Amino acid sequence: MKELNSVQKFYKDKTIFITGASGFMGKVLIEKLLYSCSDLKEIIILMRPKRGKTAKQRVDEFSKLPLFKRIMDTNPDILKKIFPVWGEITQPNLGLSDEHLNHILENTEIVFHLAASLKLEATLKPNIIMNLTGTKHVVDVAKRIKNLIQMVHTSTAFCNVEHEILEEKVNDFPHEPLDLINMAEWLSEEGMSSIQKDLLGVHPNTYTYTKRLAEILVRDEYEKSNLPACIVRPSVVTPSFNDPIPGWVDSLNGPPGIIVASAKGALRCMLLNREANFESIPVDLAINGLIMIVKKLCTETKKSKEIPVFNVTMHELVRMTYGKFFDLSVAMREEIPASISLWYPNVTITLNKFYYLINIILFQWIPAYFIDLLLLIFGQKRFMVHVQKKIAIGMDVLKCFTMNNWNFRSKNFTDLVEIQSKEEYDMFFVDTRQIDVDKMVRQSIIGGRVYCLNDPLSTVPKAKRLLKIQYVIDRLVKFIFFYWVIKKVLVYSGIWDPSYGVLDIFSGIF
C-alpha cells in the first residue's frame, strides 16, 4: 500500500463540517477531500431541506455530476462518508436538530464555512442575514465544538475596495457587525434599503459590504475567544484548471456567464477597462489552497497574534488584464462557437458611458423588443427582454470590478508551495506561476458550453457553419442599415437627390 503524504496523514481520521456544500466551491471541496484524502473519517454537510427529497437523495445527486466521475469509477462507496444534516445558517444553532447539533459538537475537528449569498444585486437586509448573521451562527456553533482545531471562513478578495493595494490582513471599519445584525432583526427590508446607500459608503454592493463585516466578526472572535480561525479570500473563482476535470463549472455566475452571453450574441457591449487586472483563480487551485491552509496552520507550533488571512488570487505572479481575457475569448470564439446563438457574436469594449448606452440601446434592447414582438405575433413565449434585463442587472453590478484596478498581495497563499513535497505539489496543486492563461480561458469557454449549456463539443462543426452564415447576415444587415442612415443624412443635407441612382451620389459631392 502506498504511503500517505503529510497532507493525507493530517486529514486521516478527521471529521469535517462544511457549510455551502451544494455550492460551486463546496462540491469541489467535497470531491477533492474524498478522492485525495480518502482516509478521513466523515464529512458532515449542512444542507437546506428541499421539498420532496431526502438528505440521502440530495447526496446521491452528487454522484451524477461529471465532477464526481473519477470517484464513481474508482471508489463509489467513499460517498458513504458524507453525512448530510438538514439546517440553515440563518437560524440559531444553524437550524439543526438536537441530535445533529450534538453530533457536530462532539465529532467535528475542522469547519469550512463556505455558505454565502453571492447576489451582488441583492438589497442589504437579505445579505446581512445570510452573510453576516449566518457567519455569526456558524461561529457560535464552532466555539462550542469540543475538539475544533481549525475553522476556515471563506470571504472575498474584494471586501476592501477602497484600497488600491490589498494586503493579507483584516482592515478596520467604522461599522460594528453586531450593530448591523441587530438592525436587520428589527428594521424592515424597506427601512434597511432606505439607508443602504449611506451604510455602504465606498462599497459598490451589499455583497462586499457584508463580507467585510463578517471578516471583522471572525477576527474579533479569534482575538477575544481564542477561536482557531483563519480567513481565506478567493478572487473571482473560475472553472477548474485541471482537477478533477478541466473546465468544470456548475453555474453561469461571473466570467462563464459573460462568455456565454457574448457567444450567444445577447451581450454586445461592456463597460470595461482593458488595462485593469482580471483577478481570478481556478476553483481547483482555490480548493487545494483551502486544504493546504488548514494543514499548515494546524501543524505550526506558534499561533499568530493576528488572524491569518490568505488572498487566494494568482495575478501577483501571473498577470492577466481584462483586455487580454476578452482578446483570448474572441480568438477562441471562432474555434469553439456556441451551437445556438441569436446573432453573430461581437462585443464592443468601451470606457465611455454614453457610447456604451447607445450601443446597448441599438444592439441589445431594440433587437430584444423586436424579437419578443415577433414571438408574440406567432404565439410563442417571449424571453428576450427578460434576458436583457438580467444582463443589464449583471453588467451594472459588475462594472465596479471591470472598471477599476486593484493589486493583491498574496504571499501567504503563494508560499504554500514552499511547504509541499513533490507528491503534494502534484496532488494539491497551488502554484499559480505554472498557470497557462490561454489554456485557462479556453477551458472556461469549454466548461460553460459543456457543463452549463449541455452543449457537447461534438456540435462544434455544425456551430462553425452557423457562425459563418451569421457573419454574412451580420455584415449584410449592417451595410443596409448604415447605407440607409447615410442616405437619409445626405438627402436631408441636400447633397443627394433621392431620384439619383446609387452612383450619382458622388457627382452630388464632387
Do 145 and 94 belong to one domain?
Answer: yes
Instruction: Confirm whether 254 is domain-assigned.
Output: no
Q: What are the residues whose beta carbons fall under 8 Å from the beta carbon of 219, sequence distance 6 or more?
A: 170, 231, 307
Instruction: Confirm whether 270 is domain-assigned.
Output: no
Instruction: Confirm whether 379 is domain-assigned.
Output: no
Do 156 and 212 belong to one domain?
Answer: yes
Domain range for 191 = 6-246+278-319+406-446
Report the number of distinct structural domains present in the chain: 2
Instruction: Confirm whether 387 is domain-assigned.
Output: no
Percent helix, strand, coil in the chain, to 5, is 55, 10, 35
Place of cell 477548474: 240
- Strand ranges across the sheet with 42-47: 82-86, 42-47, 15-19, 110-113, 150-154, 229-234, 309-312
- Strand 110-113 with 15-19, pairing: parallel
Do 435 and 490 belong to one domain?
Answer: no
Out of 392, 423, 446, pick the residue that ends a domain.
Answer: 446
Distance separating the N- and C-terminal Cα atoms of the chain: 89
pLDDT at 504: 53
Do 415 and 475 belong to one domain?
Answer: no
pLDDT at 509: 44
| Residue 269, all three cell numbers | 457591449
Q: Which residues of 357-381 are buried (b: 16+ CB within 10 A; e: fewer)?
A: eebbeebbbebbeebbeeeeeeeee
Q: What are the residues whose beta carbons fall under 8 Å from the beta carbon of 316, sequence distance 6 or more?
A: 407, 408, 409, 410, 414
Do 196 and 239 belong to one domain?
Answer: yes
Residue 398 near residue 205, CB atoms below 8 Å: no
CATH of the domain at 22: 3.40.50.720
pLDDT at 330: 82
Which residues are bridge partners to 309 per DSSP?
231
Phi, psi of 360 (to 5 degrees): -70, -30
Instruction: Confirm whether 401 is domain-assigned.
Output: no
Instruction: Confirm whether 371 is domain-assigned.
Output: no
- 508 pLDDT exceeds 60? no
Do 422 and 469 belong to one domain?
Answer: no
- One-letter amino acid for residue 139 of the chain: V
Global pTM reads 0.91
DSSP state of 361: I
Do 232 and 211 belong to one domain?
Answer: yes
pLDDT at 259: 82
pLDDT at 399: 82
The confidence band for 286, taking pLDDT boundaries of 50, 70 and 90, is: very high
Do 426 and 509 belong to one domain?
Answer: no
Out of 421, 446, 471, pick the residue that ends a domain.
Answer: 446
- 338 pLDDT exceeds 80? yes
- 211 pLDDT exceeds 90? yes
Do 509 and 465 belong to one domain?
Answer: yes
How confident is the model over 243-280, as pLDDT tens digits? 999 999 988 777 778 888 888 888 889 998 998 888 88
How confident is the model over 408-462, as pLDDT tens digits? 999 999 999 999 999 999 999 999 999 998 899 888 888 888 998 888 989 999 9
Chain centre distance of CA 329: 18
Do 413 and 504 belong to one domain?
Answer: no
What percent of the chain lies above the pLDDT cut of 70? 97
Do 431 and 474 belong to one domain?
Answer: no
Instruction: Confirm whether 264 is domain-assigned.
Output: no
Do 53 and 127 belong to one domain?
Answer: yes
Instruction: Confirm whether 359 is domain-assigned.
Output: no
Nearest to 262 by CA among 362, 343, 371: 343
Out of 392, 425, 446, pick the residue that ends a domain.
Answer: 446
